[in-house]
Amino acid sequence: MTRENMMAAQAPKQLVAEEVTQQMRHAGLNRAFLTAQLLTGNAAQAEHAVMGAIAAWGPGPGERDFMEHVVRTALGPKYENVQPPKDDKPFAEWPAELRAILHLPLPLRHCYVLRVLIGSSREACARVLGLTAQGIDESTTAALHMLPQLMKRPQMAAGCRA
């Protein structure tokens, strides 16, 4: 096989690799945005958190560092007492399971999103949220017990929030 033939054979592989990398980045951004929305209950704040993480993200850090920056920005002191808006239009197309998460009290919601949805260790959650590992376990367990009750609410089936 000539050098030209070898290079021609490698070109499609490089294009596929680049396309896969782009798709992974896109999926990572979508995941980061959804995580920030669940943490804040607000699309504008979620966008701010993701954009801040993008701006701070250098070539070295991986997706885990990026996601940590998104979480820290979303949970920053600026948004500590923010409640989700009463208007459900931004969340109307979400599955009921995700909308129910927005009805959890903030500390339970934060623990649930970080621990269950993202899969962070309880120690990492404790550091980010300023709780003890036992507090993380208790809040996550409380959220897990509360979610089935929230799912029974009529507005979950109707696609709206109270």
CA distances from 64 to 24, 41, 51, 120, 144 (A): 13, 22, 16, 10, 25
Phi-psi region of 66 (alpha: psi -120 to 50; beta: other; left: phi over 0): alpha
CA distances from 3 to 11, 122, 141 (A): 12, 53, 61
Report the candidate in 24, 53, 48, 28 with the shortest Cα–Cα distance to residue 37. 48
In CATH, 86-162 is 1.10.3470: no
Quick one: pLDDT at residue 73?
A: 86
- Tell me how far the alpha carbon of residue 18 is from its chain's centroid: 24
Summarised one tens digit per residue, pLDDT across range 76-135 is: 865 455 555 555 566 778 888 888 898 899 899 999 999 999 999 999 999 989 999 999
Least-confidence region, from 31-40, 44-53, 84-93, 112-121: 84-93
